[in-house]
């Protein structure tokens, strides 16, 4: 996977974007706070707790299920998760058949 194109044409604003040492090549203290490993760990924990609470809300909130299956516990959570996993895996499989180098049509 290439990081930077060999020759970047000048952007339309007229000057190339300034560049600095990428964050991940710098010591942790110098990085943007949002991308430090400690922050990311906290984000994972926070999201995990948030998701769990959201599912537990199903115990108190009652919608009007139309089809039966949508009345099961945490339906929207597991259905959303499973359908996304299925779509990603399907796309991945289809990619093996359909992906070509992005210069494919230029030849």
Partner 1 sequence: MTPEVALPLPPALGLIALGLLLPLIPRPARPLWLVGGPALVLGWVWLIPEGSHLALPFLGHVLEPLRATDLTRVFATVFSLMALVGNLFALRQKSTWELAAANVYAGGAIGVTFAGDLISLFVFWEVMAVASATVIWSAARPAAYRAGLRYLQVHLLGGVILMAGIIGHIMDTGSIAFTAMQPETVATWLILIGVLINAGAPPLTAWLPDAYPEASFSGTVFLSAFTTKTAVYVLIAGFPGTQILIWVGMYMVFYGIIYALLENDMRRILAYSIINQVGFMVCGVGIGTEMALNGAASHAFTHIIYKALLLMSAGSVFYMTGRTKCTELGGLFRSMPLTCTAGIIGALAISSFPLTSGFISKSMIAQGAADQHMAWVWMGLEAASAGVFLHAGIKFPWFVFFQKDRGLRPKDPPLNMKVAMVIFSAFCLGLGLFPQPLYAILPFPVDYVPYTTAHVVKQLQLLLFAGLAFFVLLPLMKRTETLSLDWDWLYRRPGPWLAGRALALIGALYDSLTGAGRHLLARLFTTLERGHGPTGTLARTWRVGNAAVAVMVLLCLYLAIYYR
Q: For binding to partner 1 (CB under 8 A), which residues are involved? A: 1-5, 8-13, 16-24, 32, 34-35, 47, 50-51, 54-55, 57-58, 61-64, 66-67, 69, 74-81, 83-85, 87-92, 94-95, 98-102, 104-106
Count Cβ atoms within 10 A of the Cβ of residue 36 and give its class: 0-12 exposed, 13-18 middle, 19 or more buried: middle
Q: How far is the CB of 53 from partner 1 (least distance, A)?
A: 10
Residue 28's nearest CA partner among 19, 38, 20, 18 is 38
**Which residue number, 29 or 69, has a Cβ lying nearer to partner 1?**
69
CB of 97 to partner 1, least distance (A): 8
Smallest distance from partner 1 to CB 2, Å? 6
26: nearest Cα among 37, 17, 41: 37
10/29 with CB nearer partner 1: 10
User: Burial, 2: exposed, middle or buried (Cβ in 10 Å; 0-12, 13-18, 19+)?
Assistant: exposed
Instruction: For residue 73, give the DSSP letter.
Output: T
Nearer to partner 1 by Cβ, of 37 and 104: the residue is 104
Nearest distance from residue 86's CB to partner 1, in Å? 8
CA-to-CA distance for 107 and 104, rounded, in angstroms?
Answer: 6
């Amino acid at each position: 996977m290439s990081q930077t194109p060999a020759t970047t044409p000048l952007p339309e604003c007229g000057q190339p974007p300034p560049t600095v040492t990428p964050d991940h090549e710098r010591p942790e203290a110098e990085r943007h706070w949002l991308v430090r490993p400690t922050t990311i760990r906290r984000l994972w924990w926070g999201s995990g707790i948030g998701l769990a609470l959201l599912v537990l809300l199903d115990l108190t909130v009652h919608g009007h299920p139309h089809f039966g299956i949508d009345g099961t516990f945490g339906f929207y959570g597991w259905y959303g998760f499973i359908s996304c996993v299925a779509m990603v895996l399907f796309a991945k499989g289809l990619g093996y058949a359909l992906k070509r180098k992005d210069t494919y049509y230029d030849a």
